[in-house]
Every structure is written in C-alpha cells, then in structure tokens.
C-alpha cells in the first residue's frame, strides 16, 4: 500500500494538471507480468486519444522517477460503467448503486459481497445484501466496483 501511495502522490498531479480527474490506480502482479493501471475521468467522457496523451505524460514521469523495480506495462483507462471504487468519496458518490467487493480479511465469515450501497457512515460503508445490512470498514476493502445495470 505504501508503494501505491507513492505512485498516487507522483501521478495524480500530472493527471489533474491535464484537466482530468485522477480516479485511482491498480498495481497488479499477474505471474511474471506487472501492470500499472491508471484510471482517469472527465465530465465529458474519456477518449482513446485522452488515454494516449495521459499515458505519454505519465510514462515520462515514471521513466525519470523509476518507482517500480520490475518491468511493467502502463495502462491508462476510463473507469467505465463498472468503475472501481478506491476512495471514501467515491463510495459517497455511488450511494444507491449495486456494488460488488472483496475484503482483505473475512467479515461475518465471508470475503465477497454484492449488494446495494445504502450509505457511508464515517469510515464504513453500509451495504444491503439479501435484506441484511452490513457495516463494512473501507480500509478492509481490497477491491470494489460498481455493477452496471442494463435495462
């Protein structure tokens, strides 16, 4: 997590200086491959050209700072409809949505939850799963994302 914090401190200002919202990042170790995925957003949406422009700027910073020891691939992406949730304020913005999440440690005997995000109380989210409300600490959430609803 400390490396993620360092990457956020390094990359978020670059993204924001280009008039995009820094949505979050994931550093994924997938076997021998490492992927640094940076999510950007904008009120008018994100295009492939936007991602390419941001990628060039982030690559320049990463080349100079060299914060990741192993070889990695940089991906810049829109959060999309199934947007991942990284920060407390993103959960606040997503109240009323269906989300699925995985916890770092089991809570009430389970690590995976899918339900209606009812609210946020201090540092916890309120999740309704099958008529049962769970109060889950945000710092226990390993990964969370919106579940898009298609009519």
pLDDT category at 116 given cuts 50, 70, 90 is very high
| Residue 15 three-state SS | helix
Which of 105, 103, 106, 107 has its CA nearest to residue 132?
A: 107
Domain 2-77 in CATH 3.40.50.1100: no
Which of 71, 75, 54, 73 has its CA nearest to residue 12?
A: 54
Q: Calculate mean pLDDT across residues 86-112.
A: 95
Sorted by where each begins, the domain ranges of the chain are: 2-77, 88-146
Token look-up 């940089």 returns 74
- 146 in Cβ contact with 97 (< 8 Å): yes
The whole-number pLDDT of residue 150 equals 79
The whole-number pLDDT of residue 69 equals 84
Which of 135, 40, 132, 35 has its CA nearest to residue 83?
A: 40
Mean pLDDT over each residue of the chain, to the nearest integer: 93
- With a cut of 90, say whether residue 19 has pLDDT above it: yes
Radius of gyration of the CA atoms of the chain, in A: 17
Residue % of the chain over a pLDDT of 70: 97
The whole-number pLDDT of residue 29 equals 87
- 23 in Cβ contact with 61 (< 8 Å): no
- With a cut of 80, say whether residue 2 has pLDDT above it: no
Question: In terms of CATH architecture, what is 88-146?
Answer: Roll (2.30)
User: pTM here?
Assistant: 0.88
Q: Calculate mean pLDDT across residues 19-46.
A: 93
Secondary element (H or E) of residue 49:
helix 48-65
Tens digit of pLDDT for each residue in 44-96?
999 999 999 999 999 999 999 989 888 899 999 999 999 999 999 999 999 99
């Amino acid at each position: 997590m400390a490396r993620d914090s360092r990457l956020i401190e390094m990359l978020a200002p670059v993204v924001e200086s280009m008039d995009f919202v820094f949505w979050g990042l994931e550093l994924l170790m997938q076997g021998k491959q490492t992927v640094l995925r940076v999510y950007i957003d904008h009120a008018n949406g994100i295009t492939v050209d936007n991602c390419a422009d941001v990628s060039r700027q982030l690559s320049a910073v990463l080349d100079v700072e060299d914060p990741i020891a192993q070889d990695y691939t940089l991906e810049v992406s829109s959060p999309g409809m199934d947007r991942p949730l990284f920060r407390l304020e993103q959960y606040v913005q997503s109240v009323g949505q269906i989300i699925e999440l995985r916890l770092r440690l089991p809570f009430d005997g389970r690590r995976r939850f899918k339900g209606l995000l009812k609210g946020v109380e201090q540092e916890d989210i309120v999740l309704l799963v099958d008529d049962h409300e769970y109060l889950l600490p945000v710092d226990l959430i390993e990964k969370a994302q919106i579940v898009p609803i298609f009519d």
